[in-house]
Amino acid sequence: MNWQGVIEQYRRYLPVNEQTKVVTLLEGNTPLIPVPRFVDAIGGRFELYLKLEALNPTGSFKDRGMTLALTAAKTRGAEVVVCASTGNTSASAAAYAARAGLRAAVVLPHGKIALGKLAQALIYGARIVPIDGNFDDALNLVRALGDEPGVEIVNSINPFRIEGQKTAAFEICDALGRAPDFHFIPVGNAGNITAYWKGYKEYHAAGRVGTLPRMFGWQAAGAAPIVENRVIAQPETVATAIRIGNPASWQAAVAARDESGGVIGSVTDGEILHAYQLIAARDGIFVEPASAASLAGVIKAHAAGDLPAGSVLTATLTGHGLKDPDTAISVSDKLRPPVKPTLSAVLEVIRG
Ligand code: F0G
């Protein structure tokens, strides 16, 4: 049967029933792609598979949770969904609200949203509220908005979001026929690492896989509250998607780390941008900077000798590179001034 979205595919693991009218854009079923050239480039002797969440309908993993969240909001008779966002949640909420026939309002840190994400929220028709503050300020405001009548919060503090996002772990196990030994994932508001760990545990409990992965989460060094064990008042990183100083799912992420025997570490902006360019150049995969934190983490864990030969690794690539064209262009030194429209001038550039 054709793919019908994550709710239909994993219905028995999700909080829905026969009467539920599903709001979906047929999210999920994203590729799990091996990247041997990247592994060679870093001298690894493990297998690495990347979960390309960029190939969801709005270009990020958020769609998995948003199908559940908007389905629930619609069922409950909400009129407007609200979220704080570093960009992707707002894009996804806006799209799924349009699909559900509801209004979306998104509270965003002014000047810190990648261009493509802003374009998405606009074109899907969300009411955009830029604030002179960061994501953490925006989320505090949204928590208060949740008390208003007819309003449903669709940040990952809404448990339906986590329920939907756990389906990525199911898909990885289905594709591999087993659980990975290690799972690498970026950590921002910490909902996704929480969701994956829940998914892996539920599949294990259901007897679908015999083992559990160690969860290796990665924050940006300038926005690493869990690593530093303190709230970061002014988080800063090139990976704007994970520019968060006080994650909502902090304790759940720590539990995922500790229960799985894993790690939550940090990677610098330099390490993130190196991984960002390497995966594009070696394997033809263009992700946004926050997603490259997963891969910077693989490089770092490998350098530390933490990844035994023959291990099976998976890493989540959370969002599409096209969402943030400014960063791609700014890290590239290959954009040249125009030349004369002659064969010799063109050949000179190609050969040079
Ligand atoms: N990668 C991308 C591309 C993201 O957009 C986010 C979070 C993360 C990683 C981190 O996931 O928050 O579950 O730990 N973006 C949120 C947003 C905060 O508003 O779009 P997390």
Token pair recorded at residue 347: 């050949």
Residue 83: beta bridge partners?
106
How far is ligand 1, taken at its centre, from the CA of residue 190, in Å? 8
Per-residue pLDDT of the chain (352 residues; tens, 9 = 90+): 799 999 999 999 999 999 999 999 999 999 999 999 999 999 999 999 999 999 999 999 999 999 999 999 999 999 999 999 999 999 999 999 999 999 999 999 999 999 999 999 999 999 999 999 999 999 999 999 999 999 999 999 999 999 999 999 999 999 999 999 999 999 999 999 999 999 999 999 999 999 999 999 999 999 999 999 999 999 999 999 999 999 999 999 999 999 999 999 999 999 999 999 999 999 999 999 999 999 999 999 999 999 999 999 999 999 999 999 999 999 987 788 999 999 999 999 999 8
User: Sheet of 151-153: strands edge to edge?
Assistant: 127-131, 103-109, 80-84, 151-153
Alpha-helical runs (H) found in the chain: 6-9, 36-41, 62-75, 88-100, 115-123, 135-145, 159-165, 167-176, 191-205, 225-228, 250-260, 269-283, 289-303, 325-331, 343-351
Residue 86 CA: which ligand 1 atom is closest?
19
Ligand 1 geometric centre to CA of 35 (Å): 23
> Position 50: which residue type?
L
Within its chain, how far is the Cα of 111 from the centroid?
A: 20
Would you state the pLDDT for residue 334? 76
The answer to whether residues 185 and 294 touch, using CB atoms and an 8 Å cutoff, is yes
What are the angstrom distances between the C-alpha of 53 and each of 61, 142, 320, 350?
A: 5, 26, 8, 34
Ligand 1 neighbours, Cβ below 6 Å, are: 60, 85-89, 156, 186-192, 241-242, 288, 290-291, 318-319
Nearest to 96 by CA among 26, 44, 167, 162: 26
Q: How far is the CA of 346 from the centre of ligand 1 (A)?
A: 42
Give me the pLDDT at residue 335, please.
82
| CA of 99 relative to ligand 1 center, distance in Å | 22
**Alpha-carbon span 58 to 39, nearest angstrom:** 28
Separation of CA 311 and ligand 1 centre (Å)? 27
Ligand 1 center from residue 157 Cα (angstroms): 13
Question: How far apart are the CA of 26 and the centre of ligand 1, in A?
Answer: 20
Closest CA to 155 of 93, 98, 199, 200: 93
pLDDT at 204: 98
The pick from 86, 92, 243, 244 for probing ligand 1's pocket by mutation, whose C-beta has the most ligand atoms within 8 angstroms, reads 86
b/e per residue, 26-51, with b = 16+ CB within 10 A? ebbbbebbebeebbeeeebebbbbbb
Which residues neighbour 197 within 8 Å (Cβ) at sequence distance 6 or greater?
169, 215, 252, 255, 256, 259, 260
> Virtual CA dihedral for 300, 303, 308, 313, nearest 10 degrees?
30
Residue to probe by mutation, ligand 1, list 189, 226, 243, most atoms within 8 Å of CB:
189
| Among 85, 142, 318, residue to substitute to test ligand 1 (most atoms within 8 Å of Cβ) | 318
| pLDDT score recorded for residue 117 | 98
Please identify, by atom number, the ligand 1 atom nearest to the C-alpha of residue 91.
20
d(CA 181, ligand 1 centre) in Å? 23
Atom in ligand 1 nearest the alpha carbon of residue 190: 14
Residues in the chain, how many? Answer: 352
Residue 325 CA: distances (Å) to CA of 90, 322, 331: 18, 5, 10
Instruction: Tell if the pTM clears 0.95, that is, is over it.
Output: yes
Determine the straight-line distance between the first and last CA of the chain, rounded to whole angstroms.
52
Residue nearest to atom 10 of ligand 1 (CA): 188
Distance 196 CA to ligand 1 centre (A): 13
* Interatomic CA distance for residues 276 and 274, integer angstroms: 5
Cβ neighbors of 337 (< 8 A, separation 6 or more) are none
CB 166 within 8 A of CB 195: yes
